[in-house]
Structure 1
Amino acid sequence: MTAHLFTTSSSVAAKVQLLLLSLSVTMAQSYSPAFAQVQVIKMGRGDSQNRENVSQNREEASQQGDAAARAQYDSLVDQYFASAFAFAPSWGTQVGFHQYDKELEDLSLTALKNNEATLIEYRRKFSDPAFLRLPKAQRLDLSMVQANISASLLDLQELHSLNRDPDRYPSLIADSVFSLAKRNFAAVDERLVSVIGRIEKAPALLAAGRANIEPDKVPRIYAEVALEQLPGTIELFKTTIPAAFASANPVLKEKFEKANSKLIAELVSYQTFVKEKILPNARGQFAIGEAAYVKKLAFDEMEDEKLDVILANGYKELRRLQARFKQLAHEINPKVSALECFESIASEHPQPDKLVSSTANVLDRIAAFIEEKKIVTIPSKDRVTVAESPSFMRALTFASMDTPGPYEDTAKEAFYYVTPVESDWDKKRIEEHMRFFSYADLLNTSVHEAYPGHYVQFLWVKHAPSKVRKLLGCSSNAEGWAHYCEQLMIEQGLPAAAHESNYKDKKPEREKLEQEKLELVQIHDALLRVCRYIVGIEMHTRGLSYDNGREFFIKEGFMEKANAERETKRGTKDPTYLVYTLGKLKIIALKAEYMAKMGDKFDQRDFHDRFLKCGFPPLKIVRTEVLDLPSGN
């Protein structure tokens, strides 16, 4: 997924685009016979040599047409991404193109208008009829690029996030500079030169934020989230970034300190601006409405199911999970309620200062289990580094995976971030937070984030078959895969005591109990995802209030209040965070189709490898490729 205005894939448009792709097969086939017919008229009939020449000319014409279209398409793709990285240089750094490291996004009104015009022009160019002659794989890639353009234009023309979300600007600065500090892709002095380049441009980005933000269109919750995030961003530049470059050349450090001091002052001033100018006047609605929601789901995920059907599927999965949750809890301890049973398991967690080490301990054991059970190929011996979530990310995440870009050749570190407790929290809030990291939850979260979830998929994306597949994708694939893996590993019998060094020596009856506890936790995490699914749709399209959304997480998902608050805040800014459950359900359905097709020859590692070798495109495209369907299906 791309992190900036150049985003992902499609489906009102995707549906139209897939229709165009299905038509392209017919049109490509009709192209060369028409050419051949002209040759027959010119050469006459009855001559077998002439007929052979006609056949040869027809084949050559078809190949030349494809070759010409392919060359035109490849060139246009290169131009498009060069334009994308010029507009979003932070994304260029993240994917491994370090010629953009000194640059920072220009989000001034003039730059945004120019970007909009550029996107419209690329939309026209990628609609060239010549591309109907592309091979199937490139036609599918083309649909991803076109949807990516549509998603970017949707944000610029209808969602107006840069006018409504004051957090976008400081968080972009933090993310762009931190990306230069966290990986050693170049010498420390070289990276510090790039940091200085970005920091010197950062005040202009904050000024663009002041100019672009329209306070009366800002939802109050967006202003509140910005004020929650800003102290962490300021702290990043006060401590984390200077510490990362402590060994740099003294002359460079002096230049950095001067620019950094100015940026910190600008961030503090921006914080005051949000607090005094935006927050008191923030009267905007966070809900984007059904029309925009359907478009976003279409362009981002190529999802074209009716929204009522999607919502009904979510409620069906919610009820299934709730029933299983209650059944498991009764089997574990019939003397208490399901929620009390879960809470007793959630209380079994590491001490806060052991969170990172406890998480790291389970990773190698999970990877070994995957190899033993032949679940999926792990295409690298490189392992994940577990670390605390950076301060500027903590307001909206418990755990996350940060992988190097697909074109990063030097710094291959991947970071599995877990969010620690804060020093000013009281005991109650610390306990509520740590209950998310019970030993069973650490296992399940590690499956999701690392093995065989996000990290393994990232390793495959590095070998994806095209530039488009390496750079573009969708969340229902990436998050759907990781969430699917949680259920998969339960089904495969992942040892529930794998956090303990002697987990293989557990007695069968103890292991059975631990397995039930692990599944209960996995089901609880699945309930969180399906609550996101429902709350996201209903808050943005059905009038569900923020408070009622929070209560839905607590009542239907059995969540702690603090965590429910965090999840609801996220939903106001991330309308389509249904992608976890949406993707999981579609992958399960695809697996069933593939099993039916293969019969006795079905092999789960083969299926998972086939899935991952596609990259992470919309699941419609994965289905087409895994089942070897015509491109319109």
Structure 2
Amino acid sequence: MVTRQYPAAGRQPRAILARFPVFLIAPFVMTALAGPGDPPGSARELAPAFETLIERYLCEVRGVGCSLPGDMSADSFQQRIAAQSAILEDLEAVDRGTLTLEQDIDWRFLRGILKANIRAESDVQRWRQDPRQYVFTNGLIFKIEADHRHPDERGRDLVAELQTLRARLVNAETNLTEFIPNWLPYANARIDGTVIVMQEHLRKFASRLSPDLRDALIREAEQTVEALGRFRRFVNEDWTERPEGDFRIGADLYNYLHEHRHQIPTADRALEQISRGERGFTRMPDYHDWGWKQYEIVEGHLERKAASIDPDKTWKEIIRETKSLHPFNEQLVYEGIVLSRKTREWTIENDLVSIPWEDDDMLMVASDPSMAASQWWGFGPGYLPAGHPSTKMAWPIIPIQPEWPADVAEENLTEKDWSFYYAIGPHEAYPGHHLMRLYRHRNDRPLRRYEYSYSDQAWCYYVEWELTPRPEYGFFPEEMQDRYELEILRLKLWRMGRVIIDSGLHGGRMTWDEAVTVESERTGFVRRGAEINIDGIAGGGTNTAAPTIGYFQWMLLRDDYFNKMRELDQQGTLKDFHDRVYRIGFIPVELVRDQLMVELEREYRPEWHR
């Protein structure tokens, strides 16, 4: 049963039916003010039944304003599929002729999400394969470190969350029916790191609470540590004896997700032209071959760039030489803060995109121990729930772990060097993920506040490869321009490699070991980092590779924006293009295109739409 939570003081949650009466005519008319894409002074009537359907999806599937079961029982997963199937049925019954432009875009966006989710969650049940699904601490860490509420209020929520975590661990012992050998070491590391969170992070936070609540939270943490110990024994003694499963999602589901979740076209001459892809390249099996083609193109650029820097050295030798100059471990967090704030100043100085806030900030923080085995470097913006009103976010970095031997620690630090900091900074902070998330949290459309797509990461590739290295923008130190451009090319190679590895692993054309070899020996990551990267790709399926196509889609849309402005007898600007994209939101690029082009016509040629 889903319960709706009401914000008004003194109101109690009430149970709601699994399906809302979506098509009742509301006794009022909802309107939205005119935006840049509307005729001046106009207002748009929103179809209220559709808005109710969006609200229902956010409640029943995303838990926005509602309380969903958090125990991860087998029944809860079936209930989720059933809820999405019912919403999809009602969505497809909507008369799209009654919808505004923005609503129709949302109709297409939501339909793609639902169709993809239902198929993927039915065919690939990670909750039967991966112990880490049951031990995820982002919400806990946010409440401990960054939640703006009074500590006691957060403490009460933490008590409830630890109880839910223990319920999940109990259900995991029944649910985990398939053993994936490569995931065992990462499961152990996640569990061990979570124990540290309970014993250290949570206990320190508890000392700030009122005495009774402090004692209650400490008791819950102690019980959770015991439960994690039992779960670890289960994972290593019982789960390992269960039938071996297959992590691959297969070519059919892969293509289905490209069609519905990402809404990437099968045949698009302009996209094929800009991305040097043959007809059908966006689908398996040709997608894998296209990945190799792009990978080799970028390799050629790396070789030529390296020759211009030092003709006697390979690009990998120059990269390794550059990476030997890195911050000390104790400098990592603060240098990240300095760099993050530099990206904001740089974005403003170059007039790349509007920043309509005065108090926004992006900090680097040390990641909690539970995540140290999940990524080699760190994460993008984190610890801020979707739709949160704050403008402050964290950029977690994986610190050197005390138990790492010296050679592993040094390998890790070489991949947190200055060239990587500078190359990835705008991608993660401004005008990348952080600024994009601030815009998303304030999007006029509720669905786009809580849902986004592959285009989000694809846009960050655009920021990273097209904006960051341009000498006229002056982000890199002048004396390091060429070497940092070389690092940018290596990162582009890495992302082209994701197409090869993602499609290769899930389509059966590449083994796990072959993927690690490409990531390490050819792309240039140290082996431990490569192994962690491959683990992340194996647990997904299309998600790490689709943004690479998305980058080419954004490049094409940028060209088409300027051409459209020419048709409208206007002079487009890069900032105007960027601002419009950020306002529309990072939904599938084809949907952004359709909304953008109509909005431009409405703004500059309103007579075309009368």
TM-score interval, normalised by the smaller of the two chains: 0.7 to 0.9
Counterpart Cα distance in 2 of 1:280 and 1:347: 44
Q: Which has the higher contact order (CA 8 A, sep 6+)?
A: 1
Alpha-carbon contact 1:73-1:131 (below 8 Å) kept: no
Of 364, 373, 388, 2:366 maps to 388
> CA offsets, 1:330-361, max 9 Å, x none?
12112222211111011111011111112122
Q: Residues 455-484 of structure 1: CA distance to partner in whole angstroms, max 9, x if unpaired?
A: 11112112312101111110x211111111
Corresponding position: 1:72 with 2:49: yes
Distance across 2 between alignment mates of 1:223 and 1:123: 36
Looking at structure 2, the residues matched to 338 and 361 of structure 1 have their Cα atoms a distance apart, in angstroms, of: 29
Check whether the contact 1:403–1:413 (CA below 8 A) recurs between aligned residues: no
Matched, 1:195 2:154: no
Counterparts of 1:420-459 in structure 2 under 5 Å? 420-459=399-438
TM-superposed CA distance for 1:234, in Å, is 1.3
Structure 1, residues 265-286: CA drift from partner, whole Å, max 9, x if none? 1111101111111124452122
Q: Which residue number in structure 2 is paired with residue 291 of structure 1?
A: 252
Q: Who is 1:377 aligned against? A: 354
1:404-553 superposed matches below 5 A: 404-409=384-389, 411-474=390-453, 476-487=454-465, 488-491=467-470, 493-495=472-474, 497-498=476-477, 511=478, 513-553=479-519
The correspondence for 1:153, drawn from 97, 118, 138, is 118
Residue deviations 1:279-308 (CA, integer Å, cap 9, x gap): 244521221110111123333311243334
Match of residue 130 from structure 2: 165
Task: Give the aligned partner of residue 3 of structure 1.
Answer: none
Matching of residues 92-241 of structure 1 within 5 Å: 92=64, 105-171=70-136, 174-214=137-177, 217-241=178-202
Q: Distance in 1 between matches of 2:210 and 2:370?
A: 27
1:570 has 2:546 as partner = no
Counterpart-to-counterpart distance in 2, 1:445 and 1:117: 40
In the aligned structure 1, how far is the partner of 2:475 from the partner of 2:53? 50
Q: Which amino acid aligns with 2:411?
A: E
Code of the aligned partner of 1:356: V
Deviates further, 529-538 or 77-86: 77-86
> If the length of structure 2 is used for normalisation, what is the TM-score?
0.83
Counterparts of 1:422 and 1:494 in 2: how far apart (Å)? 36
Deviation of the 1:517 alpha carbon: 0.8
Structure showing the higher helix proportion among its residues: 1
User: Closer, same or farther in 2 for the Cα pair 1:386/1:170, shift >3 Å?
Assistant: same
1:627 to 597, 602, 610: 597
Q: Which amino acid aligns with 1:618?
A: P
| Cα 1:535–1:348 shift into 2, 3 Å | same
Contact map agreement 1:404 1:414 (CA 8 A) in 2: yes
2:28 counterpart residue number? none
In the superposition, relative to structure 1, how do residues 135 and 260 fare at CA in structure 2: closer, same or farther (>3 Å)? same
C-alpha distance in 1 between matches for 2:193 and 2:427: 26
Q: Name the structure 1 match of 2:20.
A: none
Inter-CA distance 384–353: structure 2 relative to 1 (3 Å threshold)? same
Residue aligned with 1:377, SS: coil
Partner of 1:269: 230
Q: What whole-Å deviation, never above 9, does each CA across 1:570-619 have from its counterpart, x for those lacking one? A: 11112221133222221112112222333471211111111111111111
Match of 2:342 in 1: 365
- Work out whether residues 477 and 618 of structure 1, in 8 Å CA contact, stay in contact via their aligned partners in 2: yes
> What is the deviation of 1:209?
1.1
Aligned letter for 2:374?
A: L
Q: CA deviation at 1:316?
A: 3.0
Q: TM-score, normalised by structure 1?
A: 0.80
**Quick check: 1:151–1:299 contact (8 Å CA) kept in 2?**
yes
For residue 260 of structure 1, the aligned residue among 195, 217, 221 is 221
Give the Cα–Cα distance (whole angstroms) in 2 for the partners of residues 336 and 433 of structure 1: 23
Residues 493 and 268 of structure 1: CA distance in aligned 2, closer, same or farther (over 3 Å)? farther
Matched residue, 1:318: 295
Q: Distance in 2 between matches of 1:207 and 1:434?
A: 38
**One-letter code of the match for 2:508?**
R
Q: Hey, what's the Cα distance between the residues in 2 that align with 1:235 and 1:295?
A: 40
Residue equivalent to 1:336:
313
Give the number of aligned pairs.
535
Mean CA deviation greater in 309-318 or 134-143: 309-318
**Following the alignment from structure 2 to structure 1, what is the Cα–Cα distance between the partners of residues 174 and 159?**
24
Secondary structure of the corresponding residue to residue 415 of structure 1:
strand
Compute the displacement of 1:408 (Å): 2.1
State the alpha-carbon separation in 2 of the partners of residues 108 and 245 from structure 1: 29
Write the letter of the residue equivalent to 1:478: D
Please tell me whether the aligned partners of residues 206 and 217 of structure 2 are also in contact (alpha carbons under 8 angstroms). Answer: no
* Whole-angstrom CA distance in 2 between matches of 1:491 and 1:81: 40
- Tell me if structure 2 keeps the 8 A contact 1:321–1:526: yes
Tell whether the 8 Å contact from 1:379 to 1:459 is kept in structure 2 after alignment: no
- Is the CA contact (8 Å cut-off) linking 2:206 and 2:218 kept in structure 1? no
SS in structure 2 at match of 1:283:
coil
Provide the C-alpha distance between the structure 2 equivalents of 1:378 and 1:490, rounded to a whole number of angstroms.
21
The SS at the match of 1:386 is strand
Q: Which of 55, 58, 62 is matched with 1:81 structurally?
A: 58
* SS in structure 2 of the partner of residue 265 of structure 1: helix
Q: Counterpart amino acid of 1:520?
A: L
Larger Rg: 1
**Separation in structure 1 between the aligned mates of residue 203 and residue 494 of structure 2, nearest angstrom:** 37
Whole-Å Cα distance in 1 between the matches of residues 421 and 473 of structure 2?
A: 13
2:549 paired with 1:582: yes
* CA shift digits 1:480-531 (9 cap, x unpaired): 1111101122125444655xxxxxxxxxxxx2x4110110111111111111
Answer yes or no: is the 8 Å Cα contact 1:181–1:191 preserved in 2. Answer: yes
Match of residue 270 from structure 2: none
Match of 2:263 among 302, 321, 326: 302
User: Which 5+ residue runs of structure 2 have no aligned equivalent?
Assistant: 1-43, 267-282, 602-610
2:585 matches 1:615: yes
Aligned to 2:522: 556
Q: Which moved more, 1:526-535 or 1:126-135?
A: 126-135
In angstroms, what is the RMSD of aligned CA positions? 2.3
Supply the AA of the counterpart residue of 2:549: L
CA contact (8 A) 1:531 1:556 kept: no
CA 1:308/1:483 → structure 2, altered by over 3 Å: closer, same or farther? same
Compared CA separation, residues 492 and 114, structure 1 to 2 (3 A): same
Amino acid at match of 1:227: N
Q: Partner residue of 2:274?
A: none
